[in-house]
Amino acid sequence: MLKRILLSPLFLATFVMAQQTTPPRTQARSVVMTKYGIVATSQTLASAAGVKVLEAGGNAVDAAIAANAAIGLMEPTSNGLGGDLFAIVYEAKTGKIYGLNASGWAPSGLTADLLEGKGHKTMPQRGIYSVTVPGVVSGWDMLRARFGTMPFSRILAPVIHYADEGFPVTEIIAAGWRGSTTMLAAHPNSKATYLPNGRAPRAGEIFRNPDLATTLRRIAARGRDGFYTGPTAEAILKISAETGGTFTAADLAEFKGEWVEPISTTYRGWRVSELPPNGQGIAALMMLNIMERFPLAEYGHNSARALHVMIEAKKLAYADMLRYTADPRFFKAPIEQMLSKTHAERRAALIDAAKAACTVLPAELAASIKPGADTIYMTATDKDGNMVSLIQSNYAGFGSGLVPPGTGFMLQNRGALFTLDRAHPNVIAPRKRPLHTIIPAFMEKDGTRIAFGIMGGWNQAQAHAQFVSNVADFNMNVQAALEVPRFTKATFEGCDVDLESRIDPASAAALRSLGHAVRVVAPFSGGSMGGGQAIMRDPNGVTFGGSDPRKDGAAVPQTPKIPEL
């Protein structure tokens, strides 16, 4: 009987029709789905460390700190205790989002005059004069105090275990580590910490960092004071003094992150939120405002027409961002004007459908900066619907090149993004925060909420806009929206643009005919396109996680407590 049914003409016709009408699958990974929590990072063991905290009764903030601490150990090429942190937190019980800016300030005494007196014509890109106060531990402390449920001793237990016992280095991280060998070998502290046996660890080799375990134990015992005062702070001051820096004990002890009000715009009915300056998130929102003036869904995903609009929108938005973004305590950017739909309409009118613009000027409202792409983005949610969108970074690979003695972490080089141009709002000054590339994001519509981010220097805001378009214009799930091929333009001038090779060659050819200087890069080019994570929660309480295959990570779901059989 069964055989006759399977071979019947009616069955075969139905089967063939179904095959013809089902869209071909283009995703490499399926979306992770659960009723419980998810942690998504660029290193699977770090994701699992966050999930371990969820399963021990912690919430999304506890899990995010645990995962961030773990990835600082496991992906030191991109982040760690010596870097900065930004976060957006969605609190389920109030329905509100909160922004945290934990980016550090320049040390006392560091001025343009001092640097020019030492022969510098531009901001140093490595070394002590590129170092700003690390903000991450202050960020953790503020997140835990306001939203967390666990003490640091429990939150940091997984990473302390891995720092002591070791973990296998993953493939993409190992490749980046190997590429930094020369820089790491230049100072004895960084060499001793990150080049065991005189070389970078290979993929699959076990790496341990007992000095970092000691530093983490101080934080577990004393919170922020275990980092900004005491032996860790003394080690930072020691390497500053040894290398001619201007850090004081007060620069560290008095630093504190800042709660900020997120900025937002609407795009096709979605409310998209970023953090205000000193970050570049405003550029993503300006891009979206310009893109909304064009029917991208009609043009088709990654068609030449759609790509041309987005690339030109990127140039316009970034020109404004670069001109007006700086530490708001020193310069008040015209944020309301920059985010107005009227401003977007005026900027959109500058896009020539038949020609790429190779020079774009900022708008007149009431420096050349080198790109950097060594950052991690991660996100976490719990069974109650709390969500954390968090980004953390050293800036350029391994940061400044300086490891404070006995601490096991690298100091960031975020100060490299200052300018010595005294007429620019982003000019270096004591206790000033530089223009920042790293940005977390959040979007919501009709009870559906998505915490997302894509790392990668100046790639970030343009990648955010592409992700939002993938969801809003093309109805992609969060995994597909991360996976699909992207473009990026790492520079602020010229017509150069990179396209991943998975984009139709016909689109690339059409862009060249418009004057774009297209360079085709690898199909999953994490080096230029960055890598992202995303978590979505729908109104029914189902959580969906996505993780970018351009990185080593995964979206890992929480396992609920199951009675023993």
pLDDT at 52: 97
CATH topology of domain 261-370+453-540: Serum Albumin; Chain A, Domain 1 (1.10.246)
| pLDDT for res 1 | 39
Q: Which of 4-13, 100-109, 188-197 has the lowest mean pLDDT?
A: 4-13
The confidence score (pLDDT) of residue 56 equals: 97
Instruction: Please determine, for residue 174, whether its predicted confidence score (pLDDT) is greater than 50.
Output: yes
- What tokens does 191 get? 């060499």
Residue 192, classified by CB atoms within 10 Å of its CB into exposed (0-12), middle (13-18) or buried (19+), is: middle
* Contact (CB, 8 A) for 158 and 62: no
Residue 43 gets which letter from DSSP?
B
pLDDT band of 327, cuts 50, 70, 90: confident
> Binning pLDDT at 50, 70 and 90, where does residue 515 land?
very high
The pair of structure tokens assigned to 301 is 């995903």
Contact 471, 443 (CB under 8 A): yes
Q: Which of 414, 411, 417, 415 is nearest to 398 (CA)?
A: 411
pLDDT at residue 565 in the model: 57
Q: How many angstroms separate the CA atoms of 308 and 507, rounded?
A: 10
| Phi then psi dihedrals of residue 160, to 5 deg | -65, -40
pLDDT of residue 22: 53
Confidence at residue 4, expressed as pLDDT on a 0 to 100 scale: 41
Q: pLDDT over 70 for what percent of the chain?
A: 93
Query: What 3-state class would DSSP assign to 280?
Result: coil
For the record, the structure tokens of 177 come out as 């580590």
pLDDT at 343: 94
pLDDT at residue 13 is higher than 60:
no
Q: Which residues in the chain are classed under CATH 1.10.246.130?
A: 261-370+453-540
pLDDT digits (tens, 9 = 90+) for 436-486: 889 999 999 999 999 999 998 899 999 999 999 999 999 999 999 999 999
Q: For residue 502, what are the CA distances in angstroms to 187, 352, 499, 523?
A: 41, 26, 8, 5
Contacts of 182 (CB under 8 A, 6+ apart): none
Quick check: 515 and 495 in contact, CB under 8 A? yes
Cα–Cα–Cα angle for 135, 141, 147, rounded to 5 degrees = 125
Q: Interior CA angle at 93 toward 54 and 481, to 5°? A: 65
Q: State the burial class of residue 131 (Cβ atoms within 10 Å of its Cβ: 0-12, 13-18, 19+).
A: buried
Element (H, E) at 241: helix 230-242
Of the candidates 528, 565, 526, the residue with the CA atom closest to the CA atom of residue 549: 526
The predicted structure's pLDDT at residue 562: 82
Which residue shows structure tokens 């220097």?
Answer: 457
Residue 23: phi and psi, rounded to 5, are: -60, 145
Helices 210-222, 230-242: axis angle to 10 degrees equals 130
Q: Which CA distances in Å does 19 have to 11, 12, 15, 25, 301?
A: 12, 11, 6, 12, 23
Tokens 């919170």 belong to 223
What is the predicted pLDDT for the residue at 18?
Answer: 44
| pLDDT for 158 beyond 50 | yes
Q: How far apart are CA 393 and CA 405, in angstroms?
A: 20
Q: Which pLDDT score, from 0 to 100, does residue 375 have?
A: 86
3-class SS of residue 257: coil
Check pLDDT > 50 for residue 321.
Answer: yes
Give the whole-angstrom CA distance, residue 423 versus residue 109: 19
pLDDT confidence tier of residue 366, bands split at 50, 70 and 90:
very low
pLDDT higher at 564 or 32 = 32
Tokens of 503: 């984009």
What is the C-alpha to C-alpha distance for residues 461 and 438, in angstroms, rounded to an integer?
Answer: 9
Specify which residues 90 forms β-bridges with: 97, 387
Q: How confident is the model at residue 23, as a pLDDT?
A: 58
Average pLDDT of the residues in 263-289: 96
Strand partners, 427: 419
* pLDDT value for 16: 43
Q: What is the pLDDT of residues 369-385, one digit of tens each?
A: 344 447 899 999 999 99
Could you give the C-alpha distances from 55 to 48, 74, 389, in angstroms and in order?
10, 21, 20
Range 151-157 average pLDDT: 98
371 vs 354, more confident:
354
- DSSP per residue, 156-210: THHHHHHHHH-EEPPHHHHHHHHHTHHHHHTSHHHHHHH-GGGSPPPTT-EE--H
- Using CA atoms, how far apart are residues 489 and 509, in angstroms rounded to an integer? 17
Tokens of 514: 């418009």
The helix/strand/coil state of 502 is coil
Percentage of the chain modeled with pLDDT above 90: 84
Cα–Cα distance measured from residue 251 to residue 229, given in angstroms and rounded to the nearest whole number = 10
pLDDT at position 556 is 98
Q: What is the pLDDT of residue 364?
A: 60
Helix (H, G, I), strand (E, B) or coil at 239: helix
Are the beta carbons of 544 and 535 closer than 8 angstroms? yes
Q: How confident is the model at residue 331 (pLDDT cuts 50, 70, 90)?
A: confident
Task: To the nearest 10°, report the CA torsion of 202, 206, 207, 208.
Answer: -170
**Assessment of whether the complete model's pTM goes beyond 0.85:** yes
- Residues 205 and 188: their CA atoms lie apart, in Å, by 22
pLDDT at 252 exceeding the cut of 80: yes
Q: Report pLDDT for 6.
A: 44
The total of other beta-carbon atoms located within 10 Å of residue 88's CB is 27
Active centre residues (catalytic): 375
508 has a pLDDT exceeding 50: yes
Both structure tokens of 45: 């063991």
Helix ranges (DSSP H) in 445-534: 459-472, 478-483, 505-513, 526-529
Choose among 87, 269, 62, 172: nearest CA to 547: 172
DSSP codes joined into one string, 395-459: ESTTTTS---TTT--PPP-GGGG-B--TTSTTB--TT-PPPB----EEEEETTEEEEEEE-STTH
Res. 28 pLDDT band, cuts 50 70 90: confident
Handedness of CA 68, 69, 70, 71 (dihedral sign): positive
- As a whole number of angstroms, the distance between CA 332 and CA 345 comes to 23
